[in-house]
Amino acid sequence: MANKPEKIVKTDEAWRAELSPEQFQILRKHGTERAFTGTHWDSHDDAKYVCAGCGNVLFSSDDKYDSGSGWPSFSQPTGAEAVETGADRSFGMERNEVHCSRCDGHLGHVFPDGPEPTGLRYCINSAAIDKKPK
């Protein structure tokens, strides 16, 4: 089993200086982008997807699929230590939030309506991830 990445802790001011306004709103303030507007929802390149806040490797194009939701969707993270999940009860809904295990940046949500073999759909904001060649 991989070791958990060392946590990165910064002030809002430090994050704001490093991230675009959209990235800050999503990663640090739990925002979301509108469906079908992000840069990665329709990307089909052979790539790895890393946290836009800290560079932690999160997802692979091998596990990316078109969910029809308008956000990049993955059936699983790159490993058990890449992301963490927790309850999100905002907006009168109960969802399972996904965040980076290294910097705690909000990435999106995970739903139990994905393809086999996991049955999961990690619905991720494009602004929360950067695409890197494998």
Residues with catalytic function: 123
Residues in Cβ contact with 70 at an 8 Å cutoff, skipping those fewer than 6 apart? 34, 35, 36, 37, 41
Question: What is the Cα 106 distance to its own chain's centre?
Answer: 7
CA-CA distances (angstroms) from residue 14 to 18, 38, 48, 90, 119? 7, 24, 26, 26, 37
57: part of which helix (H) or strand (E)? Answer: strand 57-60
Helix (H, G, I), strand (E, B) or coil at 114: coil
CA 7 to the chain's CA centroid: 16
Q: Residue 120 in contact with residue 112, Cβ under 8 Å?
A: yes
